[in-house]
Each structure stands twice: as C-alpha cells, then as structure tokens.
Amino acid sequence: MGDLAQELRNVKYLVRALLDFNSGPTRFGYPDCLSFLENLTDTVHVQRTGGDVLISAKLDESVHHVERFVQARRVRHPAPRPIECPPRERPSAPQLPEAVQEKVLQLMGEGHVDEQVLREAYYRRFGERLDVQLYGFASMEDCLARVRLGADYENGLPQAIVAVLAQYPDGILMSRFIEARARELGRPPTLRTIQLLRRWAGLFRLFKTDPSRDLILQPDIYSAAALLRPEPLPARSARRVTDVRGSAAVLTVALLEWESEWPLSLLRAAMNHFYGSAAFVPPFDAEPGRPCAALCGDTWHRARVVIVTADRVLVELADVGERRLVAPQLLRTLAPRFSTLPALCIVATLTLPPGRRAWCETAGERLLQLTRGCKLTCLYDGTSVELLDEQGLLLTRQLALEGLCKLAWLPVTVSDEVRFNVVWLQEQRYIFSYDLSRLMGWEGDSALEELQRRGIGFQCVCLCRDSEQWCALMPLLSGRADTEFFLFPADNIADAVNLLCYPHNQVGADVKRELAKLQDM
C-alpha cells in the first residue's frame, strides 16, 4: 500500500513540472494569448462561436500587396479529369508505324514469311498481337506485300555494309560508320546503325578497346564471305572469252581491245579492294588443300594451302603457279566471287596487233579452231602468248598471219654459224644471242672498238634471273644455267648482224632484204 502511494506522489510531481501554469502577466501585460489578440483591434478580428475562436486579418490599402503576394504563391491543382480512350478509326491510307514495320522486317529477315508463322512469332517475340486491320490493311498478305515493296531499296544494304567494313580492316567507330555508309551508297542513310545491327547482326563483330570510347565495328569474315554471291570478273573492253582446253587445265583466252587492261590486274585490284591492306582476326584455319586468299607483299592472290607448319604456311598461288611461304595471319577465307573462277583462267591473253583498233567479229571462233587439240604455254602477266613445241611454232606463225597475235620473239638465221632472235620487251625490239652475249666477255676492246668505228651506240641491257623480264626469255635459254644475259637494242639490225659476223663476213644483199622486213614488225 505504501509503494502505491509513493508512486502516485511521483506522478503528481511530474505533472506539476510539465504544466505551464499562469505565473502572472506576460511582458506586454496580458494574462493569456487570447487577451493579447483581442487587444489588437487594428490587426486581427477575434470572433467567438461556441467553444471555437475564429481569427481573421483586417485588410486595408497598406497590406494589399502582401495579400497579392500570398495568392501568387498558392499552387492550384486542377481537378482530375476522366481519361477517355481515343476512337479506333481506320486510317485513310494503309500504313504501318515505324516501330511495327521494323519488327516485321526483323522477323522476315529471319525467314518467317508465312502469314500464320509470322503472327505467332510476332506474339512470342514482342508479347503483343499484330492486328494489320487496325493500320488500314485489308489482310495480312496485303500488309506483307506492302512491307516487301517498301524494303526493295534496302536489298543492297548488306552488300554495302560489307563493302564499307572491308575498307576498315582494323575496325571503324560506330559513330563514324553512318558517314562511311552514306559515302558508299551515295545517299543519306534511312536506317540508323542500331537498326542495322539488329537486322543483320551476323555481319558485324563488336568490341571495345577502351571502356570510355565508342564501340568499334569489324566485319565478320565468315558471314561476309558467304553473303557476297559469286560474280564473274569484269573483263573491261574484252570482246569475247574463249575456252581453250589443254592437257589437264582450262585456260580462258581473252581478246584484249585497244588500250584495255590486263585481266589479272583487274582481279588483283578487286581482291585488294575487298580484303583491304592487312589481315584481321579471326585467323584463317589453314588445312592442306583448302583454298584461301594470301597477302604476298602488298597484293592479294588466290592460293591453295599445301603444307602447314607451326609459324609458316606453304601456299601455291593459283594464278601465278609459284609457291610461297606466308605467315598464317596473312591468309583469309576465299570469297565465293573469287573462288568460282578457274585457276590460271585470266593469264592467257592475245594483244591487239599494232595498227589495229578492234578485233574482227570472227576472231574468237578462228582462234578456237586454230588451237583445238594443241597444248598452250602461256607466259605470266604482261607478255605475249608463245607456243613452243613443233606444232606450236607452226600455230604461232599461222596466228600471226591471221592477225590474232604478236610474236614475243622471232628467230633469224643469217648463216649456219650465225643465228639470233629479235625480242620484243615493253614495245621495244632487242637482239638476243649467245654469240652476242659472249662479245661482252672478249679479251680487249676489239668489239667495243668496232661498235665505235661503225657509229653503233649500243646500250646493252643486262637481265638477271630475278628481273621481271627474265620469264619472257626463259624458253630461249634451252635449260641453260645462266644467271644473266645481255640484250642489245635492235634499231639497226643490219649493223648488229655485221657486228655479229665480224670479222668473218659481211651481210649480203639478200640477207639485207630479209632483215629489212624485220624493221616493220
């Protein structure tokens, strides 16, 4: 009982401490707050209503600016209005929204062309129904036909994408890709880069070298090679192409018009434009017998893998016939546009004879008749075709009489002891003979003195085995192991023959007449 009384006394003590009891007038002399407000008759108006007290301000001209300021600071919230759905009206002309059309094109690019299959794929992919009648189309077939018609201008976009990326083997920034694509197409782009990435994701490889920089786009070499369909090599100014069948190969002989280019150069230019100046990852999976594109020096060649080692790959160049050792990173997959051309199909060419500006209409058929059943030996890139066996020499003369070719060299027999060849190299005539070459090795200066006495200013040309013109005269060497030989300008063939025959005999009148015919060749 005593504990309960003590607890009650403690509670009363706390209540007295917390109560703010009246201890007399305040500093202004008013016993409470209400008395103070009632005394402010010029400022506030106090009205008692039952147990409530209403306080309002008394306004005059001096405080109207405060009223306007307070009202301006008030925030008025409009009353909520009921949301009404717009009426579902059919548009006057059928038209798909851009977002819906992009989704439909994406599904059509994946092979969904059937109407029902496309509807189901659209619902599974995007979670909404495709109601084409809402956009003004009579049927799904009408909608897909309109989408295909509108996308016709985009048919060349994948090829343009590959062409742009091939120019940047090290990659191109995503922000700069749209400018490069506009230059390639020749018109402003209609699709953003992100739309291209979604629609043709298999053409790109994305990576970042720096987290703070933009994405870098590179071509996917395997998908890009499969995308480009095979196309024949554009043979500029070539009248016709004739297949000449030899022992085990098929050579395509092109009749080149006046001022035309070599087809092999056209192939190299096309491969250099397609593959670029350097290889890029992923590396080529080299296997023996697999065709590839090999970078030798600064030129791309068609090749076939022969032997694969740890750090080198031995390849055989299809259009040259040589074998080269190249690094694995300098090999790429051979695109179909280049793999469909047979090996060595563009090396054999017949240049238009001098003085003519066009081939006759029957030149191709005549060439096919003359070469049927004969074995052709063609020189490499830039020299005339020459036939070496006995039947080939007869055919060479016949082709020359027909006006179908210009001989690479012509044998000239002065006597049983004196023979030489007149050779054409780069539109210039030279004399080649082992006897003339030995003149350079005579002891003393008797040969040079004879040249000076006759006023013959020979500027001999020394050809080494590693020179570009060496292959043109290889058939004349007859298997000799010489490492160099000399050619003499043939501006004055009669004087050259006199020098060759010196000091035994001079050229007779009948031989001079034969030599005079060579001046016009």
Q: What is the pLDDT of residues 38-83, one digit of tens each?
A: 777 777 778 887 778 787 777 777 767 777 776 776 666 666 776 7
Q: Which of 227-236, 267-276, 470-479 has the highest mean pLDDT?
A: 267-276
DSSP state of 117: H
252 pLDDT above the threshold of 60: no
CB atoms within 10 A of CB 162: 21
Residue 125 has pLDDT above 70, yes or no: yes
Residue 367 Cα distances to 143, 233, 370, 390, angstroms = 57, 22, 5, 18
The pLDDT value recorded for residue 194 is 73
Would you place residue 278 in the very low, low, confident or very high pLDDT band (cuts 50, 70, 90)?
A: very low
Which of the two residues, 148 and 424, has the higher pLDDT score?
424
Residue of higher predicted confidence among 503 and 312? 312
Q: In this model, does residue 234 exceed pLDDT 50?
A: no
Q: Under a CB-based contact definition with an 8 Å cutoff, are residues 363 and 255 in contact?
A: yes
All residues at 6 or more sequence positions from 460 whose CB lies less than 8 Å from its CB, including other chains: 440, 486, 487, 488
Distance CA 59, CA 56 (A): 9
pTM above 0.75, yes or no: no
Mean pLDDT score of the chain:
66
The whole-number average pLDDT for the span 207-231 is 62
DSSP assignments along 160-211, one per residue: HHHHHHHT-TT-EEHHHHHHHHHHHHTS--SS-HHHHHHHTGGGEEEE-SST
331-340, 367-376, 426-435: range with lowest mean pLDDT: 367-376
Q: Is the pLDDT of residue 429 over 70?
A: yes
Query: Which range in 96-105, 374-383, 507-516 is most confidently predicted, on average pLDDT?
Result: 96-105
